[in-house]
Amino acid sequence: MSTHTTNPNIVTLQGGEEFIVGESLTSKALRRLRKDRLSLIAIGYFVVISILCFSAPLFEQALGVSFSKTNVTQAFLPVCIPVLGIGTDYVRPDSLRGGNTEEIPVGCNPKHILGTDDLGRDHLVRLLYGGQVSLRIAFLAAAISLVIGVTLGMITGYFGGVIDDAVNFVITVLSSVPNLFLLLIISAFVLQNEELLAIFPSDILLVLVLGILGWTGTTRLVRGETLSIREREYIVGARAMGAQPLRIMFIHILPNLLSIVVITLAADIGGLILAEAALSFLGLGVRVPLPSWGNMLSQAQTFFTYGVHLVIIPGVLIFTTVLCLYILGDGIRDAFDPTARD
């Protein structure tokens, strides 16, 4: 909004600090965020990972490999980047060669940059497809819990009374059961239910489970904010003019909730990626053959000796992606902090 280099409203305070008259919190936050190098790196990394994941089919075509076609003779190939000399000295253990040793290629195959898994599928494109699945689940689940959380939070904060007590009671009950535990049980019942699985694929079911159980934090936050917004003069004014509660909530309150919701969103998505990975790792999330970063690790844990890359790389991807989202979340929170100074 503000192009502050030519903005006539800039006041330079003593000590060289610039202050823009009438600047909104959002544009101030964006300006601060543009200066926050760590957050910018985090955004950059996250965008790059997302683009790579969603262009998985291109990689598949370009490298001439497949994420789903199995080929046991090509199993457990190592990470192979001949230009850097990585993987070229790998000698395949005899135990993996099977009977006819002559016909089976041994070691590095430049087509499989990050090697292959236990069934000879290309690890790189599987990681990219897995990332697609993991990111999609986290974003959709975050969207669902955001809608539920904001709606319930606004309703309870605005109306108070019995609805407020009831929702608070449900939140207290839900948060008394250890989070992962509840997720584990519900997703076990949902994702082991063959009738449901016949209708919906496992990733959609997981989105629903994560989304429907994840709203409590947002609700609490939005409720508190709504409680304070409700008492402001412009709301009283709107009410005096005869505005209906729905109109007040969606036209007058909702836009003011935006910043507080955005602040938690990045960290929420990071948490959801972790939750999806944990559930899939435990075998109660995304079902094979559909890859996700979590279920790739789940299979890999039995291959410590043959396929170390199968254990390390998916974890690094989960970890770095979540790390970026958390750093971004911190950055956004600092940028929106009204007490902070530039």
CB of 9 to other proteins, least distance (A): 32
Tell me the closest approach of the beta carbon of residue 330 to other proteins, in angstroms: 7
Residue 173 makes contact with other proteins by CB under 8 A: yes
CB of 283 to other proteins, least distance (A): 8
SS3 19: strand
Based on the shown chain and the rule CB under 8 A, indicate whether residue 101 belongs to the binding site for other proteins: no
Whether the CB-CB separation of 28 and 338 falls below 8 Å is answered with no
Q: Does 305 participate in binding other proteins (rule CB under 8 A)? A: yes
Per CB under 8 A, the list member of 283, 287, 306, 334 interacting with other proteins is: 283
- Which is closer to other proteins, CB of 224 or CB of 315? 315
Q: Is 86 helix (H, G, I), strand (E, B) or coil?
A: strand
- Nearest-5° angle of CA 23, CA 26, CA 27? 50
Cα gap 323→335, rounded to integer Å: 18
Site for other proteins contains 47 (CB under 8 A): no
User: Please, which residue, 9 or 192, has the CB nearer to other proteins?
Assistant: 192
Given candidates 147, 288, 312, 340, which one binds other proteins under the rule CB under 8 A?
A: 312
DSSP assignment of 307-318: -HHHHHHHHHHH
169 binds other proteins (CB under 8 A): yes
What residues contact residue 53 under an 8 Å CB cut-off, 6+ apart?
A: 128, 129, 131, 132, 135
Cα 332 from chain centroid?
A: 16
Contact between 89 and other proteins per CB under 8 A: no
For other proteins, which is the closer residue by CB, 88 or 179?
179
Give me the residues paired with residue 19 across strands: 11
Q: Which of 48, 175, 201, 289 binds other proteins (CB under 8 A)?
A: 175
Burial grade of 194 (CB within 10 A; 0-12, 13-18, 19 or more):
exposed
Binding site for other proteins (CB under 8 A): 169-170, 172-182, 184-186, 188-189, 192-193, 195, 270, 274, 277-278, 281-284, 297, 300-301, 304-305, 308, 311-312, 314-315, 318-319, 322-323, 325-327, 330
